[in-house]
């Protein structure tokens, strides 16, 4: 996978990667994820969605997130509205975070929630060619 951008905010950032055929966007947010960072990420996703006719999957690895803003789930409900988005997958190794995702599922429901590194690697392997 190739890193295509890094989205910055005051206390956090998101690195975004894609595969060769642009059928996958893989995001790794780090630090504090505030509403401005989420909005910038959504703007990038909208631009990506509008610039491709290929169906794509968005996998977000939230294992390095330190803290999130309580308004983020309300902003993130826009993810499922992208016309070419095939799947929205969240890698959440923390049981506490998975409970929080479940509690906010009425606002923003991922298609899959991955619980461990092995599940994440299996999902990523679907989008990367074997060498």
pLDDT for 5: 96
Tell which residue, 57, 36, 30, has the closest CA to residue 45. 57
- Report the candidate in 60, 64, 63 with the shortest Cα–Cα distance to residue 38: 60
Looking at the chain, the whole-number percentage of residues with pLDDT higher than 70 is 98
**Is the residue at 45 inside a domain?**
yes
Q: Which tens digit of pLDDT belongs to each residue from 84-96? A: 999 999 999 999 9
Q: Cβ distance 111 to 89 under 8 Å?
A: yes
Looking at the domain assignment, is residue 37 inside a domain?
A: yes
Q: What pTM, to 2 d.p., does this model score? A: 0.93
Residue 76 is assigned to a structural domain of this protein: yes
In a domain, 130, yes or no: no
Mean pLDDT (whole number) for 21-36 = 96
- CATH code of the domain in which 87 resides: 3.30.750.24
pLDDT at 31 over 80: yes
Q: What is the mean pLDDT of residues 12-30?
A: 96
Alpha-carbon distance 35 to 78, whole Å? 13
Tally the domains of the chain.
Answer: 1
Q: Is residue 131 part of a domain?
A: no
Flag whether 68 is in a domain: yes
For residue 105, give its domain range: 2-125
In a domain, 60, yes or no: yes
Nearest Cα to 12, choosing from 67, 80, 59? 67
Q: What is the pLDDT of residue 130?
A: 62
State yes or no: pLDDT of 131 exceeds 60.
no
Structural element, H or E, at residue 66: strand 65-68
Question: In terms of C-beta density within 10 A (0-12 exposed, 13-18 middle, 19 or more buried), how is residue 26 classed?
Answer: buried
Residue 97 resides in a domain: yes
């Amino acid at each position: 996978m190739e890193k295509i951008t890094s989205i910055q905010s005051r206390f956090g950032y998101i690195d975004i990667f894609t595969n060769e055929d642009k059928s996958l966007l893989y995001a790794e947010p780090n630090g504090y994820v505030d509403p401005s960072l989420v909005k910038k990420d959504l703007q990038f996703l909208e631009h990506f969605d509008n610039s491709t006719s290929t169906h794509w999957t968005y996998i977000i690895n939230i294992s390095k997130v330190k803290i999130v803003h309580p308004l983020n789930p309300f902003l993130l409900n826009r993810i499922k509205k992208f016309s070419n988005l095939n799947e929205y997958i969240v890698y959440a190794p923390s049981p506490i975070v998975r409970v929080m995702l479940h509690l906010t599922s009425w606002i923003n429901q991922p298609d899959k929630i991955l619980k461990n590194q092995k599940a994440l690697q299996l999902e990523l392997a679907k989008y990367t060619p074997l060498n």
